[in-house]
Structure formats: structure tokens, C-alpha cells
A and B are shown apart, each in its own frame.
Chain A
């Protein structure tokens, strides 16, 4: 028998995760992507008569761990989409057969997951079952599920190359892993795609995947000139399933949306993760748990608990409960019980908007709507009282994407199987700790942690501390391998399109890694750290951004945050800097030394006038070292971003807050 290196990847990760409008889309998308990789890896590990397989990525240890644990535990542990194995076989053709079986296992897994989610939601005579019956075109769903089995969605690529007998001294200048990855990369760009396996004229497109049809029944044309939109009945059924009034979903998108109802108690599913609104409002809820406002939070929670425990489906018309693993969050309200609910209704005008939405569905099931509206009316007093005392919850959150620097190269450079397995195990050790850091320390939700890749959403005020902790933990596990972890963060609005926020975080990560590479090439010591780019996406105006080594950016932002909260720095500073940049900088970014001196002088004198103290040491250092308008512009952005974070921090801690930062 001869040896081969077999490299593979399971995707498309983008389509699984990027096409997400709600946190549940992201969460089940990444869960299913990981499960499909696991299914492919399991099939590989089984081998075939005459073929022995030693898995390297994921490691056999990891596979055993994931296969042994119940599903709820597995949710917090995921694997990346990369596969790597050492295979002993008689011929290369035998490997092709094994790779085909592995690809099919991934397709079958996804098909089964979608079918289970839809079937369980549609079981019996519940309201959700009626909603499925009303909305779903079963023939369309079947056709798309068949197409998945035919290779229309899950993209599995494999490449294999002989593994030299003397693994310490390969004959080629490439290691077998490098060679297999080179073939794999080239294969991915040779896509000879054909038409979708199933698409029909007359069907609307899926809103989450424009390359596929919606699996909903076509709705009759509205009367000419009508702007009414869907009928009350359709609206009600859609609300029951967590589908927007005007959304069209393909099979994969529908499966992700319904997975919630397909687990545990049928049709009464609870989210197995803290929803985005719950995480975003965590500082506000912590503030609401203080003695002076606790009674209103208790009253709010009592209505939610009662509606949730009633055991009917009405609650899902306006809210979703969440269950484990949201345990760290319950501790975020000291001395207070759990708040394990989707918190969107707490937004300014949130209750009124929900009532109006339910009004539109009147005529379909009056009893159910009346019951839901009664709940909403009972919430109105306590929520109003909380808003009067605390203001509406700040709607901004941090979407974090992290990725190890040079991990692929490091893996490819290793020639011995045990070295590769060792590195993979260190990556998994980091991933396990990372999930806990995000939930315990960050009060956030890591919806994807696979080896050196991480995607999570966090309350704004906890993001920096969590990033530092993650970078430190990565260094503990992989510092000796010379690896670092870089991050991209998008500060987005809860109601903005989640796809755009995710894309901004992804871009920010790419930029952070590129800047780190530049620093590395210049021999800059800062390249020893992972780098970070933060992009703030305000609802109006241009995005603000800052980039640098993680420790430096976090330290500076915290410094500006402290100065703002102490009222020693004001949000007028970035506005002055911005104004000066616009006035003096030229198209090539050079405003001359005189202009820069003038800008430095303005900021220093503004500081002295308002504080009667010398300028903060760090701010003075940054002003002095700023040798271009670009540097001053970045400083202005940093202070503005710190201002956004400081407001949330002040809310959580009860700090008074400086001018412009006060709630």
C-alpha cells in the first residue's frame, strides 16, 4: 500500500453563513456547515476495504469528542471546513471513490437536517403545522432537497498527492500538504458550473440566495394599484415561523429558520444561543437590574415568563425564548434571574411596532392575536418606566471576525503527520477556550469557532476586553508556533441588514491582516502581535475606522474612553480634527508641517482651556507622532469610536459620563 496526502474543503461557507438576516440564520448556518464537514470527515475516517485513513484535520481525538457528546454540547464546539488526512491505499482511483463517498455524506447530512427541521415543525395540528401547510410548496422543497443530493448546494473539493516514504526528507521542494493544497486551490478556480438543478419560471427568488428559487407557494397577484402586501392570514403564518412578511426563502434558508422548532419540544423550540438583541442590550439589562429599576425589569420578565410558560405558540408571534447555553448571560444581571429572551421589543417604539404588525394580521385568528396584544399591552408600563429612567437601549453591537495569521502556511510547511496533528490539537484547544471567553467574559455569542477562525457578536462595551483575552489565549496555545490572531470588528446597528454588517467585519479582518503583513515586511516589531481593524457603521454618515496591533488599539481606545468618561476629553475633539483635515489636507494627503502644527496646537489649547491640566500623556504622544493628515484623521475616528463605546460602558456601570457621552 502507498501513502497519499488528501486535502479537502467543504463549503460554500459564505452561502451557509453570509446569507443571514437574523442571528438564527448565522447560528444554524455555521452549525450546519460544521456538521457537514464532520459528516464528510466521519465518512473519510471510516475508510473503505483496502484503504486506511489517518485524519489530521479534524483530528481523530476531536472527532471522537464530537461524536460522543450529546448535540447540545456539540453546539458550542465546531470545526473549520478544512479536511486533511493521510491515506494508505492501493491506487489513486481508490482514493477517488472514498472522496466521492465523503462528499455524498456531507450532502446527505444537509438534506436530512433541512428535512427534519421542516417535518418536525409541520408535525401534528399545531398552528405552526398549519402555517407550513399554508406557505410551503412541498414539491418545490422536495425538488431542492433532491438537488442538494445531486451536488447543487454543498461544494466539496478534494485533491490528493503521493506522500513520500521518507516524510522527513521529501524529494520535492513542496511538502505533500503544500502540493495537495495547491491542487485544491487551482481546482476551486476551475468551476465549470452548470444551470441550477432546479429552478422554474414563475417562482420568486430566495431573498437569502438569489441563485435559488423560493420554496413558498406563489401568492396571488394583489389587485391592481394595491399596496397592501400579503393577506392577514399569510402575515400571521409567517410571523408564527419567524419569516418576514415579504421574505422568500430557499430550502437551506427555510431549514435554518425552522431549525429552532425542530428541536426539543416540537413547535415550542427555544433558541440554543442568546439572540442578537439580547446580547446588544446586555448593558441596558444589567443597568435595569439595579435596585432603583429592578421592579420594572421584574414586571417585564414576569410577563415574558408567563407568556413563555403558557405552552402555546402565541409567544412566538412577538418574541423568542432562548435556552442554554446562555448561562453566562443570566449572571450579567447580578442578583436577578434569567432574561433569556429575544429583546427586540425593548427598542424605542418596539412594542408599538409589534402591535401594528399584529393588527395587520387581524381577521386571521382573532383570539391568538388578541392574546399576543394583551401581553404587549401588559409590557407597555414597565418598559416605558425603564425607558424613562435609562433611555432606550443603545442599539449598537460588535460583530467580530478573527483568523489566525499564517496558520495555513504553518500547516502546509509541516511534513510529519504527528506534527500536523499536534498543531491541529493546539488549535482546537484554543477554539474550546475561545467559546467560553466569548460567552463568559464577553457576554456574547460565538456562532462559529473552528480552529483559528472565530465569528461572534458581543455587547459593545465588552468587545475590546474579549479581543485582548482571545489574542492572549491564542498566543498561549500557538505562540511557540510563531502564530498570531488578527481581528476585524464591525460596530453595527441592530436593525441594519446583518449581511452588510457581516461583510464589513469580514473586510475589516482582511484589511487588518494586510496591514499586519505590511508591518512584517518592514520589520516592524508590531507585527509580532495580531492586528485589528474596527469599523463603526453609523446609521448616517460615513463609516469610521481604526487599525493597528490589537494591544495598541485596545489600549488607546480604552484611554480615550476613560478620558471621555472623566470629562477630560470631549467629542468636540474629533470634530475639530475632522474640520482641520478637510480644510488643510490636499488630495495627496499632505497639508504641510505648518498645517499639522496648527492642528496639534488647536487640540492642545482646547484641552488646556477645558481641563486646566496638561494634555494627557498618550494623547500628546499621538499628536506629536502624527506625521500626516491621515494619522490625525485616524485619531479623530478612534476618539469617535471610543465615544460610542463609552456611552454603553457608562450605562452598564452607572458611571456619570462626560459631556457628549452622558446618556
Chain B
């Protein structure tokens, strides 16, 4: 039997997340703001180990049946329902306003190579269309916004808008939900009690503003015999990330992910507007957690193991640089092999689909769910199926596919 619960994790101190490098590590510029999927899944599974249980091979494999969705950043006022904040998508750029004036968010647009044009990238073949994110607006330079997250409502509003720039002002530094901290450490040598050579290093921490925390949906699918720990009590401490930094865990009475129904009308309206404007309906998927889409069978082969209805539909993508993750295999007592993750915020455009209604149904089916593989678990390496570690959570939305772009595709 599978039990589900929603965990609200409120960090008491700045959290320290590994960057894939061994400690002492220096946080990469623009590195992760939230714990990686294995870090969060590991923290949840550790919290659910019954007291006194010695985790052997079988118990470890059973723990991998505990799945998470998240972590998502959220803001919770007192005891109210948390408001979800999601990563800003990779298909937008921001241009500052005059002085203190409002800035603008600019939307990426599909770019189809014309006859006689071509591109050659690295790794797997690029998708047939390109997503061009504006680097300029009226002579001004546009860039990825500094702010990494915004409320889910804003993200949906952005996803359902048409292509005009959207007025937007980033919050001031002091009002941001997350801030980076670097702590300088000195390794002291015994004897002279001075710093060891090359022993000055810093570790990165992420400080959560008051009221902000992590929201994780937990599905416990362990065999009943092992699942004696049940749902932990609210108020207990949970260790997330490195350096033993603690967070307070609260188990919420109900899920905090708003149902698709809350947005359905707006989604239908947008999908119909796309058709009415003479475009073909497409689907835009924005990753809310990192993507882990498996290993290709041969170089250049990139067929993500997405759900069946999305297979072969990829038209364009906008992603930032990959994030490596490895981790520690406790059972085999060794580091794991490196996996390259698609960073949260990545955007995929798929299509074309038959009708606006079909796209809305796809949005309903994938609303805040994972598109990562649900099977198999790697029993030798003690790795859960990617979806069980919370990879590949998406925010879907309808997307306008201009006929010209699709025609150019045909011509090429």
C-alpha cells in the first residue's frame, strides 16, 4: 500500500549543497539554489528509517521505493497553505527599465532555419527548430534574470500570455527568497596551530528568507513489513544537505500543489486563442526540478524516455548548461558515476498536436508531474528510478506553433 504525505521543510540555518566536487568545494557560479534530487530524496528516506534498523541491502532497495515530488520552493505565512515558487524558465530574458522604472520580460521565439541554412552543435542532433531567446530589446541588452524563482501563479501567467514583453520588476536584494553565503574555512594544522598550506577554502550556503522553505510530496511505497516508521511527527529535525545543517519538518494536512482545475479555464482559453490566431497547437514543458533523462545508446542519440504520448514530438529546447551530480553509494561504499542533469527552468516545445483540446488534456495529464522514467530501479547501483527521486517535474502549457515555422521544417 502506498501512503502519501506533504512535507514542509523549514531550514533553520543556511543549507549547504554539494556541487559534485569533493569538499572543500567552491560553489559554481550560478549553481543550484535548492538541494539536488538525490540529496532531498536521501534526506526523506533517512527520516523514514525505523529507529534501530540496520539498513542492509534489502532494506536499502526497499527504501528506494519511497518516492518524492519536489523539492519545490514555497512561502508559508504562519500556518497557512504554502504558496509554491518555481524556477524562472530558460526561454525568457529580462531587460532593465530606465532608472527605477519597470523592466520587461522577453519571450523566446521559434527560429526555423531557412532553406540553405544549417547548424551543427555538439552531442546529440539539435531539435529541428531553435528557440531564440532575445539578447536585446530596443537597443538594450537582455539577460537571464538574476532572480531564480517566482510564484507559480506568475509562471502560469507568463506561460499563458502571448508574445508581447511583460512588465516586471525584480524584487530588491533584501526581499529575495534565497541568498547565497560563502563561509571561509581554515584547516588548522596540529603542532604549529596555523593554517595548513592550501587549506583555506570556502563552502557555499543558501540562506532562505523568513517564511520560505521546501515543499516535498512523499509517496511511501515500501513493502508493509519494512514501512514501520510511517510518517514522521511534525516538529522533528531533518538534516538536508551537508555540514549537518538542520531544518524543521512539518507534515501538512493536505497537498499544497494547486489542482489543474484551478487554471483549466485559462488554459482552455489560451489553447483556443492559439487556434483562432491560425497557429497549430503545441505543448510547452518547463522543468521545475532537474531532468535526468537516461543514457543514450550511442553518441548523438538523444531520445528522451518520456511518456509515450510525448515521444517524437520534440521541436525545440532552451536549456542552461548541464549540472553534474554524483553522490555517495552507501551500500557499495563508493562514489556514484557522474550523471548530467538538465537544470530546472529548461523549456521543451513539443508538437504539433491535433487540437487545442488535445493539448489541454496533455496539460491536465502532466500538470506538476514528472516526465522522468518511472522504471527501472538500478538494483546494483542502488539508484531509484528517476521519477522516484523527484526528477523531471514539469509545468505544462499550450504553445503557439506558427505555420511558417512548421512549413520551414517541412522544406528542410
5 closest A-B pairs (Cβ-Cβ)? A210-B20, A211-B324, A186-B130, A210-B21, A186-B132
Looking at A182, A190, A522, which has the most chain B CB atoms within 10 Å of its CB?
A190
Chain A residues lying within 8 Å of B196, measured Cβ to Cβ, are 353
Looking at B22, B90, B114, B120, which has the most chain A CB atoms within 10 Å of its CB?
B120
A285 to B20, CA, bound (A): 40
A587 to B299, CA, bound (A): 54
Chain A residues lying within 8 Å of B339, measured Cβ to Cβ, are 195
Chain B residues lying within 8 Å of A161, measured Cβ to Cβ, are 114, 116-117
User: Which stretch, A63-71, A148-156, A472-480, touches the partner chain B?
Assistant: A148-156
User: Which stretch, A96-104, A435-443, A622-630, touches the partner chain B?
Assistant: A96-104
Contact A95 B123 (CB under 8 A): no
A353 to B199, CA, bound (A): 11
A352 to B197, CA, bound (A): 10
Select which of A99, A186, A187, A495 is within 8 A of B200 by beta carbon: A495
Chain B residues lying within 8 Å of A582, measured Cβ to Cβ, are none
Chain B residues lying within 8 Å of A213, measured Cβ to Cβ, are 337-338
CB distance from A159 to the nearest CB of B (A): 5
Chain A residues lying within 8 Å of B113, measured Cβ to Cβ, are 183
A495 to B184, CA, bound (A): 12
Looking at B21, B133, B196, which has the most chain A CB atoms within 10 Å of its CB?
B21
A186 to B347, CA, bound (A): 13
B 105-133 contacts with A by CB, 8 A: 111, 113-114, 116-127, 130-133
Asked whether any CB of chain B lies closer than 8 Å to the CB of A418, the reply is: no
Contact B340 A195 (CB under 8 A): yes
Select which of B120, B174, B342 is within 8 A of A587 by beta carbon: B174
Nearest B residue to A504 by beta-carbon distance? B29
CB distance from A590 to the nearest CB of B (A): 12
Given contacts A193-B342, A210-B25, 8 further A-B contacts (CB under 8 A): A151-B122, A159-B119, A192-B125, A192-B126, A205-B20, A205-B21, A205-B338, A356-B197
User: Which stretch, B67-75, B247-255, B312-320, touches the partner chain A?
Assistant: B312-320
Q: Given A92-B118, A151-B123, A158-B119: A202 and B334 within 8 A (CB)?
A: yes
- List 16 A–B pairs whose Cβ atoms lie within 8 Å, in order of A's numbering: A4-B116, A154-B122, A157-B119, A160-B119, A161-B116, A186-B130, A190-B130, A191-B321, A192-B127, A210-B324, A210-B338, A211-B20, A211-B324, A497-B200, A500-B26, A517-B140
Contact B116 A162 (CB under 8 A): yes
A 143-195 contacts with B by CB, 8 A: 150-151, 154-162, 179, 182-195
Asked whether any CB of chain B lies closer than 8 Å to the CB of A203, the reply is: yes
Asked whether any CB of chain A lies closer than 8 Å to the CB of B189, the reply is: yes
Contact B90 A497 (CB under 8 A): no
Asked whether any CB of chain A lies closer than 8 Å to the CB of B375, the reply is: no
Q: Given A211-B324, A248-B22: A199 and B337 within 8 A (CB)?
A: yes
CB distance from B23 to the nearest CB of A (A): 10
Contact A503 B29 (CB under 8 A): yes
Contact A202 B335 (CB under 8 A): yes
Contact B122 A182 (CB under 8 A): no
Contact A182 B117 (CB under 8 A): no
Asked whether any CB of chain A lies closer than 8 Å to the CB of B308, the reply is: no
Contact B118 A159 (CB under 8 A): yes
Asked whether any CB of chain A lies closer than 8 Å to the CB of B19, the reply is: yes
Asked whether any CB of chain A lies closer than 8 Å to the CB of B56, the reply is: no
B 325-357 contacts with A by CB, 8 A: 326, 329, 332, 334-340, 342
Asked whether any CB of chain B lies closer than 8 Å to the CB of A200, the reply is: yes
Asked whether any CB of chain B lies closer than 8 Å to the CB of A119, the reply is: no
CB distance from A28 to the nearest CB of B (A): 20
Nearest A residue to B198 by beta-carbon distance? A244
Contact A194 B197 (CB under 8 A): no
B 59-113 contacts with A by CB, 8 A: 90, 96, 98, 111, 113
CB distance from B138 to the nearest CB of A (A): 9
Looking at B118, B189, B196, B316, which has the most chain A CB atoms within 10 Å of its CB?
B118
Contact A96 B198 (CB under 8 A): no
Task: Count contacts on A: residues with CB < 8 A to the other chain.
Answer: 73
Q: Given A201-B334, A496-B200: A191 and B117 within 8 A (CB)?
A: no
Asked whether any CB of chain B lies closer than 8 Å to the CB of A223, the reply is: no
A587 to B126, CA, bound (A): 48
Chain A residues lying within 8 Å of B114, measured Cβ to Cβ, are 161
Asked whether any CB of chain A lies closer than 8 Å to the CB of B201, the reply is: yes
Contact B319 A211 (CB under 8 A): no
Nearest A residue to B20 by beta-carbon distance? A210
Asked whether any CB of chain A lies closer than 8 Å to the CB of B194, the reply is: yes
A194 to B342, CA, bound (A): 9
Asked whether any CB of chain A lies closer than 8 Å to the CB of B46, the reply is: no
Interface 1/0 per residue, B133-157 and A, CB below 8 Å: 1010001110000000000000000
Asked whether any CB of chain A lies closer than 8 Å to the CB of B302, the reply is: yes
Asked whether any CB of chain A lies closer than 8 Å to the CB of B192, the reply is: yes
Chain A residues lying within 8 Å of B342, measured Cβ to Cβ, are 193
Asked whether any CB of chain B lies closer than 8 Å to the CB of A499, the reply is: yes
Select which of A96, A155, A356, A503 is within 8 A of B122 by beta carbon: A155
Looking at B98, B113, B319, B320, which has the most chain A CB atoms within 10 Å of its CB?
B113
Q: Given A186-B111, A190-B318, A196-B340: A201 and B329 within 8 A (CB)?
A: yes
CB distance from A95 to the nearest CB of B (A): 7
Contact A192 B123 (CB under 8 A): yes
- How many residue pairs bridge A and B at CB < 8 Å? 198
Q: Given A157-B120, A186-B131, A201-B336: A207 and B141 within 8 A (CB)?
A: no
Asked whether any CB of chain B lies closer than 8 Å to the CB of A644, the reply is: no
Contact B111 A183 (CB under 8 A): yes
Nearest A residue to B333 by beta-carbon distance? A221
B 290-327 contacts with A by CB, 8 A: 294-296, 299, 301-302, 316-322, 324, 326
A93 to B115, CA, bound (A): 11
Chain A residues lying within 8 Å of B184, measured Cβ to Cβ, are 539
Asked whether any CB of chain A lies closer than 8 Å to the CB of B4, the reply is: no
Asked whether any CB of chain B lies closer than 8 Å to the CB of A212, the reply is: yes
B 369-412 contacts with A by CB, 8 A: 381
A179 to B338, CA, bound (A): 37
A500 to B28, CA, bound (A): 9
Select which of A156, A162, A204, A521 is within 8 A of B22 by beta carbon: A204
Q: Given A161-B116, A162-B116, A244-B198: A191 and B322 within 8 A (CB)?
A: yes
Asked whether any CB of chain A lies closer than 8 Å to the CB of B256, the reply is: no
Contact B120 A103 (CB under 8 A): yes
Nearest A residue to B339 by beta-carbon distance? A195
Contact B296 A195 (CB under 8 A): yes
A189 to B180, CA, bound (A): 25
Q: Given A193-B322, A497-B201: A183 and B130 within 8 A (CB)?
A: yes
A203 to B184, CA, bound (A): 27
CB distance from A514 to the nearest CB of B (A): 7
Chain A residues lying within 8 Å of B381, measured Cβ to Cβ, are 201
Contact A192 B295 (CB under 8 A): no
A353 to B193, CA, bound (A): 11
Q: Given A201-B337, A213-B338: A207 and B22 within 8 A (CB)?
A: yes
Contact B120 A200 (CB under 8 A): no
CB distance from B126 to the nearest CB of A (A): 5
A244 to B198, CA, bound (A): 8
Contact A207 B126 (CB under 8 A): no
Nearest A residue to B297 by beta-carbon distance? A194
Asked whether any CB of chain A lies closer than 8 Å to the CB of B202, the reply is: yes
Nearest B residue to A210 by beta-carbon distance? B20
A245 to B111, CA, bound (A): 50
Chain B residues lying within 8 Å of A205, measured Cβ to Cβ, are 20-22, 324, 326, 335, 338
A 35-56 contacts with B by CB, 8 A: none
Asked whether any CB of chain B lies closer than 8 Å to the CB of A416, the reply is: no
A 339-371 contacts with B by CB, 8 A: 349, 352-354, 356-357
CB distance from B301 to the nearest CB of A (A): 8
Asked whether any CB of chain B lies closer than 8 Å to the CB of A197, the reply is: yes
Nearest B residue to A102 by beta-carbon distance? B120
Nearest A residue to B336 by beta-carbon distance? A201
Contact B120 A190 (CB under 8 A): no
A207 to B19, CA, bound (A): 10
Looking at B126, B294, B332, which has the most chain A CB atoms within 10 Å of its CB?
B126
